[in-house]
A and B are shown apart, each in its own frame.
Chain A
Amino acid sequence: MVEDRFSSLQFEGIDQPVVFLDCDELYPLLKSIFRDSSIVRVHRASEPTAQITIRKTESGYERSSLWLEEPVVHRDPVDAVCDLTVDLIHAFVTDHQGYLCLHSAAALFNQGLFLFPSTYRSGKSTLSLHLAFNGVPLFTDDALPVASDSNVGMATALYPRLRLPLPESVTDGFRNYIRQRVALRNDRYCYVSLDQNEQLRLGTTAPIEGIVLLDLNPDSEDMVLEQSGRKEVIKEIILRNFARQNKALDIVERIYEIVGNADCYKLTYADSDLAAKLLIKHFH
């Protein structure tokens, strides 16, 4: 029967359920990478049409969605789950008209919410987890929804994801911290389960106070936190905005406003632990 072949999972904050065909085994994996009980199985009497569908095929887990030009296939179930999170972000933004979703880590310091926009291999997830390790609660390590009518960021329930292997330079203390919190992993990625003091719950909001561009330079001898021009910050954020649902001019004007109201910095660093401690000294 068709009913036995599919499951529908409803994610908090997303209108339409995600449909899984012949791949119920992904459900516990997905549930393991979200901090709160933000996913529930919903019953449908017939196979629904969905904006995101995953089906198990001979080639692997095949996902089609409104945001993919053609289906993608992953053999590894962890990779399939990792990649699905991108579509979940698109779905969230689609369902929250006017929201931006910035490709950025964000952590809540005593001085407010600080963003760390992604640049390629800037180490934002490793730095995020060093911030959590040192007592700064995270909003996200990767994607930050920003409200449509204010410069307010929103926490997501998705656990941070580290690229493996960990850098040789991390301390034994940090390595143990991660080891004790593995939520889901394969040979390339590891999701890290944080508690309520380390990662704020889904929907928590805070005004954006600062934006820090990361320049990870393993050869750098000096760690420098300096003021940054708004031009660089605006360009970085525009390049890394997820929410293509919005009109281009709206995106640009929102980002000018967000950056215009934030303190902007650039952090050049080689060691994530020292960098986290420097940020804490300045902003916590």
Chain B
Amino acid sequence: MGSIYVRTPGILEKKLDDELLLIDNETDVIFNLNPLGTAVWRFLDTPRQTDEIMAVLCAAFPGVPKEKIREDISRLLGQLVDCKLLVVQKNDLNS
């Protein structure tokens, strides 16, 4: 089953029209989210599994191939984890 993604506590947000800047004042990382990334970040206001995120985005963008959405989401989540803006938790319920 998919991992659970959790926002790192204390990340600040600054709105930039339809985009968002994520600011970590501990590491001084500034990360720019495009509108899709912003939607994903908003959805992660509570911890989510990859499959949940996929389901919501596939419903929101029915014209976009699922594989394309999966690739984009995987890349975005990876970048956010690399920048320590998200942390990954194991899904113990499914282990």
- Which chain A residues have a beta carbon within 8 Å of chain B's beta carbons? 229-231, 234-235, 238, 244, 247-249, 251-253, 256
Contact = CB atoms under 8 A, between A and B. Distances in A.
Given A247-B28, A248-B27, A251-B30, 4 more contacts: A230-B17, A249-B25, A252-B21, A252-B30
B26 to A, nearest CB: 9
A245 to B, nearest CB: 9
B68 interface: no
A226 B32 CA distance: 24
Interface centre among B19, B21, B29 (most CB of A within 10 A): B21
B87 interface: no
A156 to B, nearest CB: 24
B24 to A, nearest CB: 6
Contacts of A229: 17
A157 to B, nearest CB: 29
Size bracket, chain B contacts: 10 to 19
A234 B25 CA distance: 18
Contacts of A238: 21, 30, 32
Contacts of B12: 249
Contacts of B32: 235, 238
Specify the main secondary structure of chain B where it touches its partner: strand
14 contacts: A229-B17, A230-B17, A231-B17, A231-B19, A238-B30, A244-B28, A247-B25, A247-B28, A248-B23, A248-B24, A248-B27, A248-B28, A248-B30, A256-B14
B25 A235 contact: no
A231 B16 contact: yes
Contacts of A244: 28
A252 B28 contact: no
Contacts of B16: 231, 234-235
A252 B23 contact: yes
Contacts of A247: 25, 28
A249 B17 contact: no
Contacts of B28: 244, 247-248
B42 to A, nearest CB: 18
A249 B19 contact: no
A244 B30 CA distance: 11
Interface in B5-49: 12, 14, 16-17, 19, 21, 23-25, 27-30, 32
Nearest to B17: A231
A46 B39 CA distance: 59
Contacts of B14: 252-253, 256
A105 B53 CA distance: 43
A249 B30 CA distance: 8
Given A238-B30, A256-B14, A248 B19 contact: no
Nearest to A248: B28
A139 B27 CA distance: 32
Contacts of B21: 238, 252
Nearest to A238: B30
Nearest to A241: B30
